Amino acid sequence: MKQVSASLSIEHSLRRSSFLLIAAVLAFAGLVPLIIANTTSAAQLTNRSATIDKSAVSSTDVEFRFDYDLINTTNTKAGIIYSFCDNPLGACTLPTGMNIQTSNDQVSDNGWPTDGTDFAADPEQTVGDCDSTTNAYQICYSRDEATATGVTGGPVDHTISGITAPSSAQTVYVRISIYSDNDYGSGDLLDQGTVAVAFVDQLTINGRVQERLNFCVAALDDAAAVPADVATCTAITDTNVDLGIIDETDVAISPVETTATNGSDDDYGILMLNTNATAGAVISYYPQADAGGTNQLYAFRVDNATCNALDTTLTDQCFQSAASSGAGTDISGAATEGFGLTVACVDTTLGTTDALVTVSNWYDGDDDDIANLADCDTADANNVEFGWNSSTSVAETLVSSTGVVDDEVVKVLFGAKAAPTTPSGEYTVVTNYIATVTF
Amino acid sequence: MKKVISAILGIAILQLPTFSAAQTPSSTNYSVPESSFSSGSNTESTSASFSAQGSAGDLGVGLANSGSYRAYAGPISPNEEYLELGVTLATINLDTPSGDPGILDIAETAYGFSTFYVRAYLNSSFAIQTISEPLTNESGDTIQPITTAGASVPGTEQFGINVVDNANPDVGSNPAPDPNASFANGSGAAGYSTVDQFQYNNGDIIAQNSGNPAWGQTNFTISYIANISAITEAGLYTMQHQLVAVSTF
């Protein structure tokens, strides 16, 4: 009985040992994948996204900014592998036309665990999981793991550039793998995740602003309001400025107040411009030659008169012209004669621009200023410096701008003074004005 | 001893599910990222001219949300990232109602529109950014963008866009979830989603998901308006409009 009992005890003991062995094997089998998984499986990066700075297909030098939250808080972060694929899972194929390896480069990285070094693009290589030599879809970035002392996780960003986009519209999935060292060992994989960007067609939006040039030349009475716009200016039919009687005592400057005896018309000249020329405008002028005259054809002269070849002559029927150089000519001197033109000011009160600002020194009067004045069309006896384009029919610039001109009015005054020897006669000159705009 | 054995067996049994959880059926030659056994579901169908994810004949498909839970009913589960941005390739001439085509006018607003769609798949969020300079001519002059949402004012130099159905001018459409709001949640972003109010800042988000998560396909219409003033420089103004989808997973 005792022996039987012992036998049963042994059998029972063996059965229990078998159960223990089976249980241990099962338990170990269950724990093995857990142990392995804990050493090789990576956590999923959260809040992960990618932002590109160009979305058109075939764009070059595309910049990718990756944002994500690092899950691992216990290891150094020293390596990143990016795989650019046409799908988020499975075999990775680089989208057609895409080139990520030739020019990719580090731009910035922020928020990463403290490290004295930034990430840098590795050359094509086969090191650990980084096999960019074989895989055209892969690029690898690393930094000095020896000095990587920080171990925190949380939000980080990494920006790279130099990527060439696919040649057709499609979504590109970028698989991101973070490593604790810079030799990309499989056992050093920390976190990973996939982001997506879309390369798409561009929209082309068009609208044309038509070129516009509205220019008007007119004679305006001193008492009249400046025309509100170029159309109103164009409706003015008066183009004559009459200085009336010119003598040797004073300079006659338009507008010359009309009296019962002087024959003047109290007019002055205006040049009104409106243009949307992007590169600006130039208003120039030239006197029209007296076709029937001789010598000094562009001077203020009696029609068809024969003048001396030298315009310094004070006894012919051609006024001595003011200079088109320096500060111009003061024609107020005694015993001299002179004729010229000056830009009194540019009236900018009608439009929205103050663009016509440049003028030659010999056309800006005594004050060297063409800025808007309250009433710059009033003749000023002290304004006696004039200029004149007398030597050629080539147009000479009066004023110019570097941009759009909106209803600006150039006020042009004429001045003349006779010498005691200046012959009598009806003196005249026709001036032509040209507005040249550059779109 | 029985307790010890039971404990060990218990541990073993508890570990067993880790073998198969979240695994994707695959072999060297194939993988099945998602599978279902139902009458008409498929993860994705594509051809040269279309792409779709869909299901049919299932008892329930969709997202259910509350403050404390979220459930995705139906055969498609969010196990992989997905994003699709479709821009209809087009050249849009901005026209006035009574003027010549493509000619901007000081008296009337010129406008036009284009379309795009976003398809997200249970992403945390998506945002559509505009990353282009406003209308610019050959000399580098730009039509001044409306930097803070405002109305269209003829005679004042303005360029702006929005993604809603406008009355003045009569252009655009509201964001359209496809097939309806139960299946997609895209909407216009602040500054670009008010009727008759236009805005443009390079880098702005013009559209995004209105709920969390972002999902489904939403079709958008971008309305473009332009006004010029008396001093708007002449030229052919062009904008190569690029949209960028930023999806967070």
> Tens digits of per-residue pLDDT, B231-249?
999 999 999 999 999 999 9
Report d(CA A345, CA A409) in Å as an integer: 8
Amino acid B45: pLDDT: 44
For B112, the closest of A198, A205, A212 (CB atoms) is A205
CA distance A264 to chain B (A): 37
* Whole-number Å distance between alpha carbons of A287 and A322: 13
The pLDDT of residue A1 is 38
* Higher pLDDT, residue B75 or A107: A107
* pLDDT given for residue A10 in this prediction: 42
Q: How many beta-carbon pairs below 8 A join chains A and B?
A: 214
Neighboring chain B residues of A176 at a CB cutoff of 8 Å: none
Residue B62, pLDDT above cutoff 70: no
Residue A360: per-residue pLDDT: 87
Contacts of A29 in chain B (CB under 8 A): 12, 15
In which band, very low, low, confident or very high, does the pLDDT at B156 lie, cut at 50, 70 and 90?
A: very high
pTM score > 0.90 for this model? no
- Per-residue buried b or exposed e for A204-236, using 16+ beta carbons within 10 Å of the residue's own CB: ebbbbbeebbbbbbbbbebebebbebbebbeeb
Q: What is the mean pLDDT of chain B?
A: 78
Give Cα separations from A431 to A91, A288, A292, A377, B98 (angstroms): 82, 6, 16, 19, 41
Q: How far is B243 from chain A (nearest CA, A)?
A: 6
What is the reported pLDDT for A381? 60
Answer yes or no: do B234 and A201 touch at CB < 8 A. Answer: no
The answer for B 104-163 residues in CB contact with A (under 8 A) is: 104, 110, 112, 114, 116, 124, 129, 131, 135, 137, 139, 141, 143
Indicate the pLDDT class of residue B208, thresholds 50, 70 and 90: very high
Distance CA B206, CA A362 (A): 56
The Cα of B93 is separated from the nearest Cα of chain A by a number of Å equal to 5
Token pair 């003349």: residue: A416
Whether residue B244 lies within 8 A of chain A, CB to CB, comes out as yes
The answer to whether the Cβ–Cβ distance between B94 and A200 falls below 8 Å is no
Order of strands, edge to edge, in the sheet holding A154-163?
A: A46-52, A62-70, A154-163, A105-110
Query: Which pLDDT score, from 0 to 100, does residue B229 have?
Result: 96
Which residues from chain B sit within 8 angstroms of residue A169, using beta carbons?
86-87
Residue ranges in chain A modelled with pLDDT below 70: 1-41, 115-116, 147-151, 372, 374-375, 377-382
| Chain A residues within 8 A of B3 when measuring between CB atoms | none
Angstrom distance (rounded) from CA A281 to CA B141:
16
pLDDT of residue A372: 66
Classify A231 as helix, strand or coil.
Answer: helix
Instruction: Indicate the pLDDT class of residue B178, thresholds 50, 70 and 90.
Output: very high
Give the whole-angstrom CA distance, residue A5 versus residue A18: 20
User: Which residue, among A25, A201, A205, would best test binding to B if mutated, counting the most B CBs under 10 Å from its CB?
Assistant: A205
Whether residue B155 has pLDDT greater than 60: yes
Q: Which residues pair with A43 in a beta bridge?
A: A191
**Residues of chain B contacting A197 with CB distance shorter than 8 Å:** 83, 244-245
Chain A residues inside the 8 Å CB shell of B94: 205-207
Written as six digits, the tokens of B26 are 């695959």
Of B85, B92, B249, the CB nearest to A200: B85
pLDDT in tens, A211-263: 999 999 999 999 999 999 999 999 999 999 999 999 999 999 999 999 999 99
Helix then strand count (H, E) for chain A reads 2, 26
Determine the distance in angstroms separating the CA of B223 from the nearest CA of chain A, rounded to an integer.
11
